[in-house]
Structure 1
Amino acid sequence: MSTWSETGPRSVDEHRAAVAALLAPTGVERVALTDASGRVLAEELAAAVSLPPFDNSAMDGYAVRAAEVAAAAADSPVELPVAADIPAGRTDVPPLAPGAAARIMTGAPVPDGADAIVPVERTDAGTARVRISAPADPGAHVRRAGEDAAAGQALLGAGTVLSAPQIGLAAACGRPDLAVRRRPHVLVLSTGSELVAPGEPLAPGQIYESNGTMLAVAVREAGATAELLSFVPDDVERFRAVLAEKMAAASPARPDLVLTSGGVSAGAYEVVKDALTGHGVEFGKVAMQPGGPQGCGTLQLDTASGRTGVAVATLPGNPVSALVSFEVFVRPALRAAVGHPDPDRPIVTARLSGDLSSPAGRRQFRRGILDAASGTVAEIGTPASHLIGALARADCLIDLPADTTAVAAGEPVTVWLLEV
């Protein structure tokens, strides 16, 4: 059977499918409402009670029988005795006797017998007796039980991404927690003996480690959890030992995905490739720029708990290549694993503000800035894969097909919006 490296470069879509196939759908867990923001609902949410659960007042005012105040006017008000005070939260609300009014607050239960609320602004605000200077139609300012949702009604479907309104709805239904899809746990490994933690002094030949931190943040923004392990040395046996230790851990510390950056090219010291080749992970080229060298598979290692497998995606080491590769291959796979309804970045079409050229046979992802008002997009920086400053200022990626060699200013292009 031919290996990936023997069959030639994969297309972007082929490698996206290969990475996505590594991650099975995650399981279900229950979380408190305050921890549910950004999570994906795992099961249908139905109303446990009607919303609202009882008829209640939409205004501060007076509960009345509409027929009894039909003739009320500013120059001839209707005067009624105030039979009760009904604040919000009162549970022993007496029925409203004919010919009387009840002073009522917003959200308080409407008493039996009343069919309308007169706002306090249309009265003299009396406490023993009240003068009402305007009529009220039947049902005026009454929130009917169940008008928002009936008990048992389906409110949210599985796959809904939860934010403040949906969590507020769950709380209104009396739910203390929700069933959500478990977040994948990703072990982010940065390799390279030349890497130094930011803030430490640099010796000749050393650089500050940035990929691990950048990718760990990207993992979390994609809806997964991340454990960052930096500065794994360029030592094959040590690299495998670190992985075996992590793979033997119990959930939730055990990773669903190992994500590496660097060590996957054709050089003499490619520790990731050397350590993982022959253990279930394949390496090869993808017909794209930046990010040509890639790897993925299910790593099989002997661990303290026995023979264990874990999904692995290996990214190139140049920072732009690493993050663009994450956007193209890993982010959609993580979001699909939790059942997110929109695993991909939003895509729009815009007109190029200047000419672009592109090498034949490689799908290009160029950094860009979108002007939504004019519907145009401009490249920022150059295609070089080490220029992270331009990527930090970009708000989109310009997607140029592999068979495109030139695009003139004014022509439409596909744009991926880099929204968090």
Structure 2
Amino acid sequence: MLPVSQAEAIILDLVQPLNEERDGEVVTLLTAIERILAAPVVSQLDFPHWDNSAMDGYAVRYEDVKHCSAEQPASLEIVEEIPAGRSPQHLLQRGQAARILTGAVMPAGADTVVMQEQTRREGNRVLIFASPEPQAFVRHQASFYQAGKPLLPTGIMLQATQLAVLAAAQCNHVTVYRRPRVAIISTGDELVTPDQLLQPGQLVDSNQYALAALVAQTGAEPLHMGIIPDRPQALKKAIARAIATADVVLSSGGVSVGDYDYVEQILQSLGAEIHVRAVGVKPGKPLTVAKFSASATANQKSVLYFGLPGNPVSALVSFWRFVQPALKKLSGLAHSWGPVFVQARSRHDLRSDGKRETYLWGQLYLVDGNYEFHLAAGSHSSGNLINLAQTNGLAILPIGKTLIPTGEQVKVLQVGSPAICPA
């Protein structure tokens, strides 16, 4: 039974990120949200594209206004008005000014902008009542970015700010990594789909839906493989089909030591190398992690296999702790693969037997800039899916720690956005 940190390190070492040349695809800017950039972006445009005004006011020559004051204002001839989007028509000469609006191109000869609050217009002349700083309110061409230099690096997730930069740079198409394909298999004779009438002893397969949602939220493409009964040949056929089409396979159930737990022996018969068999974590101890080399798969690429526990809470905790970081690394994301941990003040006594690293689920709140953890009410059984609803944090009790009292700090694995403090 491996410690959690060792299991995590083994799993991340097994992950080979998608390849830029083999796994890149071109998408339009409008469909690029939350995709991972597979090639660096370089623009042929300077930012700003030209010298422009950062203020509504008057473009002037600094030499004409450097000594002016409220008592001795400078009087300049207004030779033109330059709104945003219009090219200047005059070369500014000594004693001249141009009315200019925010974002408009600076006219040749001007080097400074005087904000309009420090001026008064009188016909075709303007009075300047305060001496500005040299270059005041001028945004110089290429001061934000110089054409030909790297604009956005590979391996970043494209969010709104990056898309705005790409649009401004006139990059209508970008190269991103394809979405990793994740096959999801549920195992067990007792499982039925939500639309079936339950018979005594049967359970609805909730794992298929929860894991598919988590896979999609991570940016990968879930492939639903359905429910496979506890029969070795059927399971072997399903796993073989999954590794032929997916980059990662997730199965739930069949990885413990029961009479009908066949996953590990089937993986070995198909040529996989087992790297993890159990982890010192509660819930989620039975975790099988294996890798198929490229030579063992029909599509000649390596495939990572996660055999998750069948109990719903155990399956989800295992995903959050081990699978999600692996999918992030696989996706081509350059960094920030790992789980996000925060320190929070517990609003309840947190207990464990101290034998394994224990995860207790609940709600994480942000209160006056500090995190608080509220333990979910009810039984913290790995089979109790009901009180897992609305979970956004997992409080962690390390090995040997049997109690974290109310009011003490606790390490929390963040699995969702913190909520607003409850009333």
* Alignment TM-score > 0.5, same fold: yes
2:110 is the counterpart of 1:114: yes
2:285 is the counterpart of 1:288: no
2:360: which partner in 1?
366
Task: Tell me how far apart the structure 2 counterparts of residues 320 and 306 of structure 1 sit (CA, whole Å).
Answer: 33
1:257: which partner in 2?
248
Deviations 1:13-59 (A, max 9, x none): 33323332332121222544434433444555555433212111123
Deviation at 1:156, TM superposition (A): 4.5
Task: Tell me how far apart the structure 1 counterparts of residues 174 and 300 of structure 2 sit (CA, whole Å).
Answer: 35
Task: Tell me how far apart the structure 2 counterparts of residues 148 and 332 of structure 1 sit (CA, whole Å).
Answer: 34
2:311: which partner in 1?
318
**Structure 2 alignment gaps of length 5 or more:** 418-423
2:11 is the counterpart of 1:19: yes
Task: Tell me how far apart the structure 1 counterparts of residues 301 and 35 of structure 2 sit (CA, whole Å).
Answer: 28
1:394 to 391, 396, 399: 391
User: Any conservation in 1 of the 2:277–2:288 contact (CA below 8 Å)?
Assistant: yes
Deviations 1:65-105 (A, max 9, x none): 34445677789876654433433233464322443333333
2:420: which partner in 1?
none
1:162 to 158, 164, 181: 158
2:127: which partner in 1?
132
Query: Residues 340 and 388 (structure 1 numbering): CA distance in 2 closer, same or farther, change over 3 Å?
Result: farther
Deviation at 1:360, TM superposition (A): 4.1
User: Any conservation in 2 of the 1:244–1:303 contact (CA below 8 Å)?
Assistant: no
Secondary structure of 1:167's partner? helix
Query: Residues 208 and 341 (structure 1 numbering): CA distance in 2 closer, same or farther, change over 3 Å?
Result: same
Task: Tell me how far apart the structure 2 counterparts of residues 139 and 341 of structure 1 sit (CA, whole Å).
Answer: 40
Deviation at 1:113, TM superposition (A): 0.9
Percent identity of equivalent pairs: 35
**Which moved further from structure 2: 303-312 or 388-397?**
303-312
2:334 is the counterpart of 1:343: no
User: Any conservation in 2 of the 1:245–1:303 contact (CA below 8 Å)?
Assistant: no
2:5 is the counterpart of 1:10: no
Task: Tell me how far apart the structure 1 counterparts of residues 341 and 119 of structure 2 sit (CA, whole Å).
Answer: 56
Deviation at 1:163, TM superposition (A): 2.2
User: Any conservation in 2 of the 1:185–1:224 contact (CA below 8 Å)?
Assistant: yes
User: Any conservation in 2 of the 1:77–1:131 contact (CA below 8 Å)?
Assistant: no
1:382: which partner in 2?
379
Task: Tell me how far apart the structure 2 counterparts of residues 136 and 409 of structure 1 sit (CA, whole Å).
Answer: 62
2:230 is the counterpart of 1:237: no
Deviation at 1:257, TM superposition (A): 0.4
User: Any conservation in 1 of the 2:76–2:95 contact (CA below 8 Å)?
Assistant: yes
Query: Residues 211 and 25 (structure 1 numbering): CA distance in 2 closer, same or farther, change over 3 Å?
Result: same
User: Any conservation in 2 of the 1:23–1:311 contact (CA below 8 Å)?
Assistant: yes
Count of aligned residue pairs for this structure pair: 406
1:4: which partner in 2?
none
Query: Residues 278 and 300 (structure 1 numbering): CA distance in 2 closer, same or farther, change over 3 Å?
Result: farther
User: Any conservation in 1 of the 2:252–2:308 contact (CA below 8 Å)?
Assistant: yes
Deviations 1:287-334 (A, max 9, x none): 221111121212479999588752211101111100000111111111
**Structure 1 alignment gaps of length 5 or more:** 1-8, 249-253
Alignment of 1:203-222 (within 5 A): 203-222=199-218
User: Any conservation in 1 of the 2:71–2:129 contact (CA below 8 Å)?
Assistant: no
Deviations 1:192-237 (A, max 9, x none): 3443433554344433322112111212222322222323344433
Task: Tell me how far apart the structure 2 counterparts of residues 224 and 183 of structure 1 sit (CA, whole Å).
Answer: 5
Secondary structure of 2:269's partner? coil
User: Any conservation in 2 of the 1:350–1:412 contact (CA below 8 Å)?
Assistant: yes
Task: Tell me how far apart the structure 1 counterparts of residues 70 and 295 of structure 2 sit (CA, whole Å).
Answer: 88
**Which moved further from structure 2: 188-197 or 68-77?**
68-77
Task: Tell me how far apart the structure 2 counterparts of residues 88 and 376 of structure 1 sit (CA, whole Å).
Answer: 49
User: Any conservation in 1 of the 2:70–2:130 contact (CA below 8 Å)?
Assistant: no
2:269 to 271, 278, 301: 278
Query: Residues 59 and 353 (structure 1 numbering): CA distance in 2 closer, same or farther, change over 3 Å?
Result: closer
1:298 to 266, 275, 291: 291
User: Any conservation in 2 of the 1:10–1:287 contact (CA below 8 Å)?
Assistant: yes
Query: Residues 316 and 281 (structure 1 numbering): CA distance in 2 closer, same or farther, change over 3 Å?
Result: farther
Deviation at 1:188, TM superposition (A): 1.7
Deviations 1:230-273 (A, max 9, x none): 2334443333334434444xxxxx31101111222233333545
Task: Tell me how far apart the structure 2 counterparts of residues 223 and 354 of structure 1 sit (CA, whole Å).
Answer: 34
Query: Residues 359 and 89 (structure 1 numbering): CA distance in 2 closer, same or farther, change over 3 Å?
Result: same
1:3: which partner in 2?
none
Alignment of 1:56-75 (within 5 A): 56-69=52-65
Task: Tell me how far apart the structure 2 counterparts of residues 336 and 355 of structure 1 sit (CA, whole Å).
Answer: 35
Task: Tell me how far apart the structure 1 counterparts of residues 63 and 202 of structure 2 sit (CA, whole Å).
Answer: 86
Task: Tell me how far apart the structure 2 counterparts of residues 119 and 376 of structure 1 sit (CA, whole Å).
Answer: 48
Query: Residues 302 and 150 (structure 1 numbering): CA distance in 2 closer, same or farther, change over 3 Å?
Result: closer
2:181 is the counterpart of 1:185: yes
Secondary structure of 1:393's partner? coil
Secondary structure of 1:399's partner? strand
**Which moved further from structure 2: 87-96 or 56-65?**
87-96
What residue identity is the alignment partner of 2:389?
Answer: A
Task: Tell me how far apart the structure 2 counterparts of residues 302 and 237 of structure 1 sit (CA, whole Å).
Answer: 22
Query: Residues 307 and 393 (structure 1 numbering): CA distance in 2 closer, same or farther, change over 3 Å?
Result: closer
